[in-house]
Amino acid sequence: MNLRTTDREALPEMPNRLGIQGIEFIEYATTRPQALGQVLESMGFRPIARHRSREVILYRQGGMNLVVNANPDDVRVSATADGEAVISAVAFRVQDALKAHTRCIDLGAWSVASHAQAMELHIPAIHGPGGTRFYFVDRWQEFSIYDIDFKPIPTVDQQPAAVEDMSYFGLVQYIGAARSEDWMAYYEHMFDFTLIPDEERFGILPKGKLMKSPCGQFLWQLIEPDPWMEVDEAPESLKRIGFGVKDVAKAVKTIKANGVEFVESKELHPEDRGALTRSALGAVSFELVHQTS
């Protein structure tokens, strides 16, 4: 460091003790992988590879990887009701997967036992909300983890472009009543997420509490049931994915042409700031969020 770059004030940097650098993949669990595949394809994803030993398919568009887990031996798949598809895992890119996993366990996370078969990658994981998991992946720069566990689907483009350069913007987590404080403490302590002020919101669904990853690449939204609602005993869950896009209107037009319907009501409809797709397969919906950079 030379003198020219020295900060005038010693401002603390945002800690990122796991070295989180974005989302490597998001996983859905379902007993109806083809139906979910159709939904994903209409959103611009393409199936590009199959898992070597399990009923799992890798979808991709641009820099986004999405895994559809239909392995009947996985309790998270068999636990899905009536063929509903649910978000079952999020994999974070980290500096060192083992160190990240060890640190989280030391802080009180619950470890997930690995079921990797011979010659497959053992991706360390901890339990998340509901039946979900958080994976830690550190081999995302030098080579692709998918080359080990997946076989490419022949003749398919392995790097399909994203619709209007869409990328992962964030996840929405539904939580129990009066649980915001707990989950904020959890994510701050485990992953160094930081709270975004209530005045600062993105997209068209501003409810709840919003946290930012320490790498600044994705957001995490926590939504409690409204106080006036009947007692909502639904288990906590990862509800939907948000995609960041520069031009929401253009993306909506392209996706609509694929047959996707958007929520259009007086209160909620596609606009420049964002849009929400209608639920498919029970509760699968996606949010588009205007992103400037």
Partner 1 sequence: MNLLDGYGMDTITMAGPLEAKLEAMKSVGFSQVMLMARDLVGHPGGVKAAVKAIQNSGLRPTGFQVLRDFEGLSGHLHNYKVDIAKSMLEMCAATGSKVLLACSSTSRHATEDLDQIAKDLKKLAMMAIPLGIKVAYEGLSWGRTVNEFTTSWDVVCRADCPNLGIGIDSFHIFAAKTPLDAIEDLDPDRIFLAQLSDFMWHETPSFEERMTTARTFRVFPGEGVHSEQLADLVLRLERIGYRGDYSFEVFNDDYQQLPLETVAERARKSATWLHQDVLHRSAPLPVWAESLHKVAS
- Which stretches of the chain bind partner 1, using CB under 8 A? 106-110, 127-129, 176, 179, 181-186, 189-190, 236
- 36 vs 190 by CB, closer to partner 1: 190
> Cβ closer to partner 1: 179 or 256?
179
> Which residue lies nearer to partner 1 by CB, 33 or 130?
130
Q: Please report how close the Cβ of residue 127 comes to partner 1 at its closest, in angstroms.
A: 6
CB closer to partner 1 out of 106 and 267: 106
179, 79 Cβ separation under 8 angstroms: no
Residues 241 and 221: their CA atoms lie apart, in Å, by 10
Rounded distance, CA 197 to CA 212, Å? 10
> Which is closer to partner 1, CB of 132 or CB of 167?
132
- Cα 222 from Cα 146, distance rounded (Å): 30
Closest approach, Cβ 102 to partner 1, in A, equals 13
Select 17 or 256, whichever has its Cβ closest to partner 1.
17
CB of residue 175 to partner 1, shortest distance in Å:
9
Of 55 and 236, which has the nearer Cβ to partner 1? 236
Residue 111 beta carbon to partner 1: minimum distance, rounded to whole angstroms = 10
Q: Which two tokens stand for residue 35?
A: 């139906």
Please state the closest distance from residue 187 (CB atom) to partner 1, in A: 10
The dihedrals phi and psi of 131, each to the nearest 5 degrees, come to -100, 20
Q: How far is the CB of 129 from partner 1 (least distance, A)?
A: 6
**Minimum distance from CB of 84 to partner 1 (Å)?**
21
Minimum CB distance to partner 1 smaller for 49 or for 184: 184
CB of 176 to partner 1, least distance (A): 6
113-145: burial string, b at 16+ Cβ within 10 Å, e else: eeeeeeeeeebbbbebbbbbbbbbbbebeeeeb
